Structure 1
């Protein structure tokens, strides 16, 4: 061992240029894994750390379209200090009505906030709004062109702006919003007159518990006390479930991208080590002539490779630990929370362990071949071929591979998904290996072309010592990765264009009072002749039981059961809604007046395991409404209209306080005038411009696309490094062939053209296969992981593959230049 260390260090002092590719590949792969894991851990840790401030309390009770009754308030107060907030959408405008903007109106009591700080920007006229005062978000101030001291109209009230909101501690916990915030106290909210029976508003009661209380236990006790009242319960450990789910899903995908990058980098490690050790054949043979044992040779080069690999892994871990800080500095505003710098040991250790196992997996075979180099090879040059590694080497590689699989599956949030991913990567590697073998066999059996350069190019694919197998695996992985990421990227960027119909409505109108629906229709007809108006009744309520199972009694919700999370939109109709098609069961007659029936979305029924004839129960304003499923519908969600998962038969929901919703389709020219008129005559109605909704969705998809593109850049860099490694691994044989051809009279140009034809053949074959593999992988990620529609841009995907193919050709020819420049006498002496 001492001699092996001495030989290793002496060899490294002479330079480790041949092992640079090993270090680069491991650095890229480990950095991708460590960076993604650190960022995901940083965000989720910050969400947990700020759980009380984000939620607004230790426990939160939420309900739609009503406030707590005296008994419920007493129960909340018995648990701890209580703060009440009411949130709803409302139109805010200047007093003259010149501008009307949708805002998120929030009424707070004197105890708000229980945690965190509510703060106004410098220049405010007070600490917080009181009475007919309002604090508004900077975005709302910009759109209304108002400043502190000016007046704005919300509902029936004119409110004085006292300042711009600088910090709203529970903003992240309240989820997706359609407009900037406007905050008032409860007296100011009452002055607007917007909280009416049937209005869509959410009441939240935050509870600050005494020290030492278990928030989850208290939340469960309160929920059990009011089982049928329709309360949605959260505690501080899950303050922002939607954000946490999104970050977890995105982190899972990016972690898989990182694992792919590391798997690709592993191929590069193998190629780099093979190339390095091929260049050391004479040195190894000389050492054996001088008496060195195979064990000493093996340990010496294992130490060298281990030191270089360790340096690459360490550098990758350090760079990965800095990724959260870099993301905060570059795109902090796009994050739901801005995590502070911290070392997250688990993702860093996992990344380092992955790097070590990947390096070990791909260096064992080259080291075994180097160990088997004989002293006689000094006299045989490139004629001697390396044998297959012995069984112990294969066994060690199998154990290492099993450890990688166990680590990937055991540490994943969704082990089954990770297992399928590992199986897919292994299957792709095996398939590419078989394709490499098939290319060699087919090339050997093709008729010999008359053109000498084409004949030479085809011979290069199957001749003894040809690197076709390595090139196919490296090139196939790289091009498949290019295609997969292009498919995902074009799906994200094209999602809006593909889902917005050509004739989308101009406005969504919400909270139209039942008594004013005819007057609303008349106003739109008078102010926007020819406009298409569609109105539907609207209520909200959570599903409390289905198929005989109570939602509150479930330990975990079924996978994909979004219908059970929070409140659902409810409506009733005598006829099937536009944009829906009954696929099972039957719709009720127009004059139906029997027991309660409901039509359910067929996909939701599949997830919940429901069928026609089963029962589902929702809670409407605290009253449980059971109904029998009469039909299942296939819903066209891309119509940009109102699509309800649950549609009830007439006579079930009409007696509950509710309102109407409407879509208005009209020319863009008259939108501003209609907006002002509706806001003036119907203060309670909220108008949402479809363009603004699309803009917000586009922003979210843009952030997702940026994250994918960032992770992809590392994976693509690893793919390029792999290709460079495959070309480098064949450098020795390329020099030998080039020298012989030049001695036989071939020119440099002819040698270069022959190699260009060889790489072009491989790139053409593998580009077609990569398009297929990339489409399958991209489809699964888009539809299965991100749950988006399938809408790739095949033109961009094709262009990406073409660029990848030309890049391969360019890299191959650049890698051939040293072989062309080799001097015959020197090359023959060295070989």
Structure 2
């Protein structure tokens, strides 16, 4: 609207009049956009349930919730206010002659609009935090998004400088690189607008791929396929013999049995544990009863992080020693040498922390947060628990054998549970990817706005090039190359950031094996480049749709 603003100012309108007139226009459009967004967002669960309700793994509560809808509308209005204030202020402060020549960015944004934009951004972050289940995390995400935007914008500007200084090849490639490195380059706009959405899409896709692979491939290879519970203590050796007779080819490393008892951790060094002071991720350790066992030998795969394992011949009934899982110990503040009060079968015992160890919860073995040294439960008869890696055919044979000799033994088919979990992850991933696609679509809309804002410049460029003898194919090719390069820059930056975030989450937070889904990354990068190239072709043909003399004569009238 620079031309209209220039005409209003030339006819005597003040900067305040321009700000009020166009501010009201922006407010009306923002209200309309927020209303449409609320209507679409509110209707989405109903439409999804109607179309795919039977295929979803979780039930949907079909109810309109006013709070998130009002929050979404408020966020939309604050976004419009915060991001419309600076360019509107710059336009109202720029002389009409500069506006008519397309130089709206010549004047700096006035202080009032800068303050207004900052207030809008702070209010936006505050509303985001107040309506979030975790305000602290929401604030951190808001700060991260702001820093991410600055990083993407800076990288886009760097790409513009590189394109400006790069050697110029001939033909359409030279024209495309010149446009990418010149004033009005799309790179600084496309990198933050699309980069964050692409980073989110890549990160979610990689996390999904790794989780599904973990459940479908890694976990079945490491974890048992079946577990047997409620094995009587007096018949434990008889159970081992039955397994060996039924599955004679079963390797020793594919079968394990251990006694299991139910315990509850209640105190640390004589003081009752306050659940509210325990690290949230480790509250399971003290909020409920958990399984435990005793073992003379250090479990296979258990890595000690502090202390030492007790001697294998240890058997002192008067001194209970335990090995604690390291993260659970950290959650309650326990260390080697401390004493835990543990409730076992209605009897409280004091046990000394002998060592801390890291547990591979997805591995094969007796993975318990608390392991006792032998002797503490001398003579006690607890039920046993066994795990095995069996083929489906061997599982059937074991089930038949147990039905005859051990009818009370419970059977837990881990393989079936992992398959169900894999299906659940894949189903939920569809919804998560849809949310990421919405973010990407919003970024694409922002880029489309940047393209529309620069359409007049491209119209002049096409007219000048055509007047100088450039062919239609070269002009269209140059614009397609410029757009494709901008899309490639945004996609590469976004993919790099998304892969880095996904790697940290998978390996550090989820503690899972990393698997690079190169096909997903390639399709996202290739898709972005293709879409941008097609947009460049469309822009080129649109720019060539008007005769050059009309475009240049119109420019001369303003200039």
Q: Same fold (TM over 0.5)?
A: yes
Equivalent residue number for residue 522 of structure 1: 241
Contact 1:476 1:766 in 2 (8 A): yes
Q: Secondary structure at the match of 2:540?
A: helix
Contact 2:187 2:490 in 1 (8 A): no
Q: Secondary structure at the match of 1:662?
A: strand
Q: 1:504 to 1:468 in 2, by over 3 A?
A: closer
Q: 1:415 to 1:654 in 2, by over 3 A?
A: farther
| 5+ long unaligned stretches in structure 1 | 1-276
Q: 1:321 to 1:483 in 2, by over 3 A?
A: same
Q: Secondary structure at the match of 1:590?
A: coil
Q: Say if 2:109 is the partner of 1:389.
A: yes
Contact 1:483 1:801 in 2 (8 A): no
Q: Say if 2:466 is the partner of 1:746.
A: no
Equivalent residue number for residue 485 of structure 1: 204
Q: Say if 2:161 is the partner of 1:441.
A: yes
How far is the alpha carbon of 1:628 from its aligned partner?
A: 0.6
Equivalent residue number for residue 565 of structure 1: 287
Write the distance in 1 (CA, Å) between the matches of 2:345 and 2:58: 32
Contact 2:321 2:354 in 1 (8 A): yes
Contact 1:545 1:617 in 2 (8 A): yes
Equivalent residue number for residue 336 of structure 2: 612
| 5+ long unaligned stretches in structure 2 | none
Q: Say if 2:322 is the partner of 1:598.
A: yes
Contact 1:509 1:662 in 2 (8 A): yes
Q: Say if 2:13 is the partner of 1:288.
A: no
Equivalent residue number for residue 304 of structure 2: 582
Q: Say if 2:194 is the partner of 1:472.
A: no
Contact 1:542 1:567 in 2 (8 A): yes
Q: 1:528 to 1:452 in 2, by over 3 A?
A: closer
The superposition leaves residues 354-402 of structure 1 with CA deviations (integer Å, 9 ceiling, x where unpaired) of: 1110011111123223324544358x64467542211111111111111
Q: 1:768 to 1:283 in 2, by over 3 A?
A: closer
The superposition leaves residues 664-689 of structure 1 with CA deviations (integer Å, 9 ceiling, x where unpaired) of: 23343332122122122211101122
Q: Secondary structure at the match of 1:487?
A: helix
Greater per-residue strand proportion: 1
The superposition leaves residues 623-680 of structure 1 with CA deviations (integer Å, 9 ceiling, x where unpaired) of: 1222111111122222244311111011213444421111123343332122122122
Contact 1:572 1:650 in 2 (8 A): yes
Q: Secondary structure at the match of 2:280?
A: coil
Pairs aligned (count): 548
Contact 1:512 1:660 in 2 (8 A): yes
How far is the alpha carbon of 1:316 from its aligned partner?
A: 1.3
Contact 1:541 1:621 in 2 (8 A): yes
How far is the alpha carbon of 1:457 from its aligned partner?
A: 2.3
Q: Say if 2:496 is the partner of 1:772.
A: yes
Write the distance in 1 (CA, Å) between the matches of 2:279 and 2:495: 34
Contact 1:460 1:758 in 2 (8 A): yes
Write the distance in 1 (CA, Å) between the matches of 2:280 and 2:207: 23
Q: Secondary structure at the match of 1:303?
A: helix
Q: 1:367 to 1:657 in 2, by over 3 A?
A: same
Equivalent residue number for residue 127 of structure 2: 407
Contact 2:506 2:514 in 1 (8 A): yes
Contact 1:475 1:808 in 2 (8 A): no
Contact 2:480 2:532 in 1 (8 A): no
Normalised by the length of structure 1, the TM-score is 0.62
Contact 1:482 1:804 in 2 (8 A): no
Q: 1:746 to 1:478 in 2, by over 3 A?
A: farther
Instruction: Summarize the alignment of residues 576-725 of structure 1 with structure 2, pairs less than 5 Å apart.
Output: 576-594=298-316, 595-725=319-449
Write the distance in 1 (CA, Å) between the matches of 2:294 and 2:92: 78
How far is the alpha carbon of 1:535 from its aligned partner?
A: 0.8
The superposition leaves residues 431-450 of structure 1 with CA deviations (integer Å, 9 ceiling, x where unpaired) of: 1222233233333333x435
Q: 1:528 to 1:642 in 2, by over 3 A?
A: same
How far is the alpha carbon of 1:723 from its aligned partner?
A: 2.5
Write the distance in 2 (CA, Å) between the matches of 1:795 and 1:616: 50
| Greater Cα shift, 754-763 or 525-534 | 754-763
Q: 1:289 to 1:742 in 2, by over 3 A?
A: same
Q: Say if 2:31 is the partner of 1:313.
A: no
RMSD: 2.6
Contact 2:483 2:535 in 1 (8 A): no
How far is the alpha carbon of 1:717 from its aligned partner?
A: 2.0
Contact 1:724 1:811 in 2 (8 A): no
Equivalent residue number for residue 534 of structure 2: 810
Equivalent residue number for residue 357 of structure 1: 78
Q: Secondary structure at the match of 1:637?
A: coil
Equivalent residue number for residue 262 of structure 1: none
How far is the alpha carbon of 1:430 from its aligned partner?
A: 0.8
Q: Secondary structure at the match of 1:388?
A: coil
Write the distance in 2 (CA, Å) between the matches of 1:547 and 1:327: 53
Contact 1:472 1:766 in 2 (8 A): yes
Greater per-residue helix proportion: 2
Q: Secondary structure at the match of 1:684?
A: coil
Q: 1:527 to 1:783 in 2, by over 3 A?
A: closer
The superposition leaves residues 137-161 of structure 1 with CA deviations (integer Å, 9 ceiling, x where unpaired) of: xxxxxxxxxxxxxxxxxxxxxxxxx
The superposition leaves residues 441-481 of structure 1 with CA deviations (integer Å, 9 ceiling, x where unpaired) of: 333333x4352433322321333344442233324334323
How far is the alpha carbon of 1:598 from its aligned partner?
A: 0.4
Write the distance in 1 (CA, Å) between the matches of 2:75 and 2:509: 23
Contact 1:294 1:372 in 2 (8 A): yes
Q: Secondary structure at the match of 2:132?
A: coil
Q: 1:821 to 1:543 in 2, by over 3 A?
A: same
Contact 1:332 1:338 in 2 (8 A): no
Contact 2:193 2:443 in 1 (8 A): yes
Write the distance in 2 (CA, Å) between the matches of 1:766 and 1:465: 16
Q: Secondary structure at the match of 2:544?
A: helix
Equivalent residue number for residue 367 of structure 1: 88
Normalised by the length of structure 2, the TM-score is 0.90
Equivalent residue number for residue 146 of structure 2: 426
Write the distance in 2 (CA, Å) between the matches of 1:481 and 1:440: 24
How far is the alpha carbon of 1:303 from its aligned partner?
A: 1.6
Instruction: Summarize the alignment of residues 209-224 of structure 1 with structure 2, pairs less than 5 Å apart.
Output: none
Equivalent residue number for residue 495 of structure 1: 214
| Greater Cα shift, 777-786 or 362-371 | 777-786
Write the distance in 2 (CA, Å) between the matches of 1:668 and 1:616: 42
| Greater Cα shift, 606-615 or 697-706 | 697-706
Q: 1:806 to 1:774 in 2, by over 3 A?
A: same
The superposition leaves residues 678-734 of structure 1 with CA deviations (integer Å, 9 ceiling, x where unpaired) of: 122211101122221212322432343133123223222223222322222221111
Equivalent residue number for residue 25 of structure 2: 304
Equivalent of residue 325 in structure 1, options 8, 24, 46: 46
How far is the alpha carbon of 1:828 from its aligned partner?
A: 2.7
Instruction: Summarize the alignment of residues 241-256 of structure 1 with structure 2, pairs less than 5 Å apart.
Output: none
Contact 1:489 1:708 in 2 (8 A): no
Write the distance in 2 (CA, Å) between the matches of 1:333 and 1:806: 32
